[in-house]
Copies of this chain bind each other. A is one copy, B any other.
Amino acid sequence: MIKKLINTPGEEVREMLEGMALAFPEIIRLDPQWNNVYRAYKKPSYKVALVSGEPAHAGYVGYGMLDAAAAGATFTSPTVPQVLAAIKEVATEAGVLVIIKNYSGDVMNFTSAVKMAQAQGIKVDYVVVNDDVSIAEKEKRRGTTITVLVHKIAGAAAEEGWSLSEVKRVAQKVIDNGRDIGVALTPCSVPAAGKYTFELGPDEIEFGIGIHGEPGVQRIKYIQSKDLAKIMVDKIAEDLGLKKGDEVFLVVQGTGGTPYMEKFVFYRDVRKYVESLGLKVFGSWIGEFMTSLEMQGGRVAILRLDEELKRLLTAPAYTIAVRITGPMTLPVVT
């Protein structure tokens, strides 16, 4: 057994969602039949509804982001009828955009549900996020951190009343301009399995990991934060073809068990290196946005921005994990 602050293994997703709903009843509502989380407050009928999966996404349900998150078991895609239930619950006349992470399981379950919903006359389309630059072949790339920026940007567009095809266009633009890469210093463990997903030596790092505790693409020797930052940023910058003067948004995060101190040291190194390449940092999120339970490690995601993406990225949002209520007005003092 691996000690965790949980009760019966297998119940952890449900109980986590219960905790979230108890803490934030003004933001989310839990559907106990399906472990689906819905936005608690009304949305306008002209608004395209956004649906995604995984327990983590419950933190992104709310004004300006998702309308529904279908939570599967830990590290497992939600099921077809579960996703279908979510689509049906939040569908509006304007339609539904389903945001799928490019994992075999997710793609199969979500696209099956989309087909069934379409068969039932619901207007629904989807995008597949494949931002994980550690994998060479583009079609195989997993969907990781950029998914959250798709939620944010497509969510803002939907809130403004854009059409389904327009919301999908901007979602795809985020996917086309965003990349992510992650490393693990330690493994994590699924409660019901009670074992670590891999073992790492005291001087080893898993490079190019997904978000479900899978081993990485490569095992490398331990290197310092600033050396990791360089390799990771280089991979992304090269793949995106970033050039001097490009404006970018950074997401620098831990992998669930990474202390604050390390996140900010790592951010410092990423930021300094990004700026040394002549890129302009428009803004950053630093924290935990797409995690792998108690794993220690780090992820870097970079999104190339244009004016449209900048505006939507900074538009208001009110979810458990992301709150943007506009720049705060401070009392003016002279």
Measuring CB to CB, which residues of chain A are less than 8 angstroms from any residue of chain B? 1-8, 12-13, 15-20, 22-23, 41-44, 55-56, 59, 63, 74, 185-186, 188, 202-203, 205, 222, 224-226, 228, 256-269, 271-272, 284, 286, 288, 291, 293-294, 296-298, 316, 318, 323, 325-326, 328, 330-331, 333
Complex Cα distance A226/B291, Å? 24
Closest to A285 in B: B23
Q: Is there contact, CB below 8 Å, between A328 and B328?
A: no
- 24 A-B pairs with C-beta separation under 8 A: A1-B202, A2-B202, A3-B185, A5-B262, A6-B261, A7-B224, A7-B225, A15-B265, A16-B261, A16-B265, A19-B266, A19-B267, A20-B264, A23-B286, A55-B261, A56-B260, A59-B260, A63-B328, A188-B259, A256-B259, A257-B258, A257-B259, A318-B328, A323-B323
Residues on the B chain within 8 Å of A331, using CB: 44
Q: Is there contact, CB below 8 Å, between A265 and B19?
A: yes
Are A5 and B328 CB-contacts (below 8 A) given A16-B261, A42-B333, A256-B260?
no
Residues on the B chain within 8 Å of A291, using CB: 259-260
Complex Cα distance A260/B60, Å? 13
Residues on the B chain within 8 Å of A264, using CB: 15-17, 19-20, 23
Instruction: Tell me how many chains of this kind the complex includes.
Output: 2
Complex Cα distance A226/B5, Å? 9
Q: Is there contact, CB below 8 Å, between A262 and B225?
A: no
The smallest beta-carbon distance between A329 and chain B, in angstroms, is 9
Q: Is there contact, CB below 8 Å, between A205 and B3?
A: yes
The smallest beta-carbon distance between A273 and chain B, in angstroms, is 12
The smallest beta-carbon distance between A15 and chain B, in angstroms, is 5
The smallest beta-carbon distance between A29 and chain B, in angstroms, is 15
Residues on the B chain within 8 Å of A56, using CB: 260
Closest to A41 in B: B330
Residues on the B chain within 8 Å of A12, using CB: 261-262, 265
Q: Is there contact, CB below 8 Å, between A265 and B5?
A: yes
Q: Is there contact, CB below 8 Å, between B333 and A44?
A: yes
The smallest beta-carbon distance between A318 and chain B, in angstroms, is 5
Closest to A46 in B: B333
Closest to A297 in B: B5
Complex Cα distance A220/B326, Å? 47
Residues on the B chain within 8 Å of A41, using CB: 330
Top 9 A-B pairs ranked by shortest CB distance?
Answer: A19-B268, A19-B264, A5-B262, A257-B257, A16-B264, A19-B267, A3-B185, A256-B259, A15-B265
Complex Cα distance A122/B145, Å? 49
Complex Cα distance A271/B261, Å? 29
Closest to A270 in B: B19
